[in-house]
Structure 1
Amino acid sequence: LTTSAVQVLGEAKVTGSTNFDDPDANSSISLNGTSISVLKGDTVDDLMGRINSADLGITASKAGTKLVLASASKIAIDGSAAGLTAAGLEKGTTQVATGNAEGLFTTAAAAAADYKISFNGKEISVATGDTRQNIVDKINASGSGVTASLADAAGAKIKLASANEISITGEAAALTAFGAGDTGGAVKVKAAPVTTQFDGKTAKEASIRLNGEEMTIAAGSKIEDVAASINQNSDATKVTAEVKNGRLQLSSTDGAAIKLEDATAGSLAQLGLKAGTTEAKLLDEDTSISLNGTEIKLAKGADMDSIVTSINSASTGVTASKDPVDGSLTLFSDKSFSVADGKDGTGLEALGLTEGTTEASTEVKSISELDITSAAGAQEALQALDGALQQVDSMRAELGAVQNRFDSTISNLQNISENASAARGRITDTDYAAESANLAKNQIMQQAGTAMLAQANQLPQAVLSLLQ
């Protein structure tokens, strides 16, 4: 990506004229009268760390290998030639920039190709055929704090203006298409100062956008008048204003983020405000809420992400999410749930919630109808998936019970079969040991009988022999 040149109001900024050159000997530089060592073998990171730890009110960073210094006050640079050469710096004093940042850019009457380009970090998409007015509208709707307009009656150039800064980034082709390629996207700082603190009355008419709603503050309005004007539009903006210690404080009525934009360049600066989106926070004190009877404690200064984490960490049966568009809090549950103040009695007001019980509703949707592009749609999808998983678990439990009954019946039948086989075996099988014993006994008795019969047959022969 290529980054355009940037001028920052309320800041002195110095970028090294050359890349950091590894020093071959010890030396030093001086920043606002304080000596900073530049040691042999130092890298740009070593020098950055030494400057940042010196607590000079100067922040050191790098662009590639060039040293970059920034401060809310002037930056006076001095030191030895060797130290300045190594750091890529030059002697001199850089003052704080003041005034509106402005730039003129020549773009084609209609974009020749699609491209993406960012203003103060807010990316816009330019489509083929987009006119200059289309591009102006997209920049003004991006929330970058940059106000775009057609520079002349012919509308041949786009004028960018901001009371704070203008940073233009994108691919080289995108910068060229926008007209920032030749100039590097450089912006000019006017010499006229701009008031960044509310000094009691607006010097001129101011026009701002609060959560997308445009408001006009008349010239000469006091801070109380500004607060009253904001409060008159609170139904549309969901934002209220009050004056605290002479400063304007804005609060979200529904816990959503607050988005501020300049409709006319420099308007927010007149009111002591800055362009951008501010996430809702618990400002005054620790508080708590009760979900389904369970108290959830919320710490002072907690942002919406912390609040969502606290709710989701508690076992309440309620799921919290942050809307990605406006940062508001949304609660979900697949059953009815109750919301009430905790012991502190201030949690519901702080979060923009109402005490009561929310009844669960049943809505049958097919998978093709689910939409996960929003927090509510994603929760519906999760609930549908949870329901499907529960149904699958129930069917698995039923099938498991049937399978267990089959296993028990099979085991019982196997036992009956084994017992029947054993009984049949005892009835039909030969006892070889007993039968062998009987055979041996019978053979002995037979042999004994034969022997006795033989002796009996011999007795008459013996008697006859005596008679002879």
Structure 2
Amino acid sequence: MTVDDIVTAVNAESATTGVTASTDGSGNLVLGAADGADITVDNVTVGGSNTTLTSADLSTLGITDTDSDDTETFSAAAALTVTAGEEASFDVNGTTVTLSNDTAEDVAYSAADLVDAVNAALIDDGNYDVTASLDEDTGELTFTSRATGSKASVTVDNLTGSLDGSTDFALSDLGLTTGTATGTSTAADTTGAKVVVGSDASDTITLTIKSLTSSDLGIADLDVSTQAGAEEALALLDSAIDTVSNARAEMGATMSRFEFRSAQIDTSIENLEAAESAIADVDIASEQAKLSAASVKVQAAVAAASQANEMPENLLSLLR
């Protein structure tokens, strides 16, 4: 296949891609876009052998510069090759994606093919919380969750089968290094207000109210004009209802915590007032008992003094 054949093949798709091909004075392939945008050449495979080209094989297309003046950009997409009669599968957040080959020849999956297979399986399963795509810079398989915050996660697990019949299917075959990715940022969708609920400044309850607008819930641009759009809308509405219900539950739990702490503070105030009363107020019963005892002692002393005063008179009477 000559460079001129490649030019003809590329220009045959110009109406779709917006890209035109030509040759320079040295016979090298030149790609250009009418609007001056970047051009990406990727998902390149060699026909019969199903071999994926790497950046070192660009010379096969006559391309030597991978990023020059918005002329061309090469992103070699890694491909999976499934040997004839083999099958491999994996789960994405509980949805099974199967890569099978029931033909007599090897079948190659480019990164774009893998994205299509994952998204098709997710849609068939009614799982619209996760989508697969290609990273614009690296061409790698990327998973995105509609959920946000620390509870957002994408898990790829339950890998079974083999691509070649001898080696177990692994995460590395998908270009992944970890099976679970979890979100950590929550600042964007919470107020973060801290309310002091005790005598110590550190005794607080954080009041977080999640943003529940139609955009945040992913239902702002629903299209029910097609069956696929209606099915997606139903799934997204169910997910939005769950999100709102969870938010209401979290707010109810926070209100319960405030009510409990309020009752606890009321009890503490009552106990403090009782303690203050015990310290500051007179114990009437105790003081009355002390007064009665003192009165008896005074009366006894008066009686004793009267008897003592009468004794000299009695003695003088005896002497007479």
Higher radius of gyration, 1 or 2: 1
More helix, by proportion: 2
By the TM > 0.5 criterion, same fold? no
Provide the TM-score with structure 1 as the length reference: 0.26
